[in-house]
Amino acid sequence: MTENDDQNEPTLFLIPTPIGNLEDISLRAMRILQTVDALACEDTRHTRKIFERHQLDSPPIIFACHAHNEDRAVGRILSLLRDGKSVGLTSDAGAPGVSDPGQRAAAAAIENGYKVDALPGPSAVITALMVSGLPVPAFSFLGFLPRRPGRQRKVFNAFAEAPTALVFFESPFRVAKILKIALECLGNREAAVCIELTKKFENIHRQRLESLIENFQEKKIKGEVTIVIGPPEREDAAIEQEDDINNMIP
């Protein structure tokens, strides 16, 4: 056990879980899952699959902590911490608090002076960036975009000049629509639509936005979708950098 995992001190452990393949869980995460006094889960059924797959012993207390009961669940977490208990927190897949429940629990624990320990682990964001094959000098994570097209345009326009890749989550029913708005705001960039990452039917589509729009216009998609859009073309970036230098010359 590492120093950070000392459960003699009441601690909230933020535990990432596999985004698809249940083998993508660390030894440390499995150990913490078994040794915490209580476990708060976005969906207890989902987390139980991890216990069953790896034949782990369940903690004595397991309860739900999701978007519809988060206030009550956070109160229970704080009560357990006050009693000197260690509490684990998992979302359905990936990292708690990153486009998933967990941030409010972490903030409340910190505000009340309790230790919060985040374990590294699976991430659809990093996995999509790696498998896209696109240049990633830096990246901006946009989470789930707003549902209204006007607000989506505002988000894309805000990043149109940034020399970064963009990565975000999207509903499988709106892929073609969001790609059209991205094309309108960002130009015909290289992109990747990543479907069901790490799962049996993982499918990665790598093309320019125009081609991806044509590809997904009539195609029905099932499963989780993460989209990566590459940074502005190097030629554009070079011209922009040259303009910046020229503007600095008196």
Q: Return the closest-CA partner of residue 201 out of 17, 21, 16.
A: 21
Give the pLDDT score at 249: 54
Q: How confident is the model at residue 239 (pLDDT cuts 50, 70, 90)?
A: very low
- The answer to whether residue 8 scores a pLDDT higher than 90 is no
- Among the listed residues 149, 129, 110, 246, the one whose alpha carbon sits nearest the alpha carbon of residue 197: 129
pLDDT per position as a tens digit, 90-129: 999 999 999 889 999 999 999 999 999 999 999 999 999 9
Residue 48: pLDDT band with limits 50, 70, 90? very high
User: Nearest to residue 221, comparing CAs of 174, 169, 172?
Assistant: 172
Q: What is the pLDDT of residues 187-201, one digit of tens each?
A: 999 999 999 999 999
The kind and range of the H/E element at 10 are: none
Cα angle 173, 174, 179 (rounded to 5 degrees) comes to 145
**In the prediction, which pLDDT does 219 show?**
87
pLDDT at 97: 92
- Kind plus residue range of the DSSP H or E element containing 35: helix 27-35
pLDDT digits (tens, 9 = 90+) for 161-181: 999 999 999 999 999 999 999
**Helices vs strands, H then E, count in the chain:** 9, 10
Contacts of 207 (CB under 8 A, 6+ apart): 190, 191, 215
Please state, in angstroms and rounded to a whole number, the distance separating the CA atoms of residues 138 and 164: 5
Q: Give the burial class of 128: count Cβ atoms within 10 A of its Cβ; 0-12 exposed, 13-18 middle, 19 or more buried.
A: buried
CB 24 within 8 A of CB 18: yes
Read off the tokens for 146.
């707003």
- In this prediction, residues 11-27 reach a mean pLDDT of 96
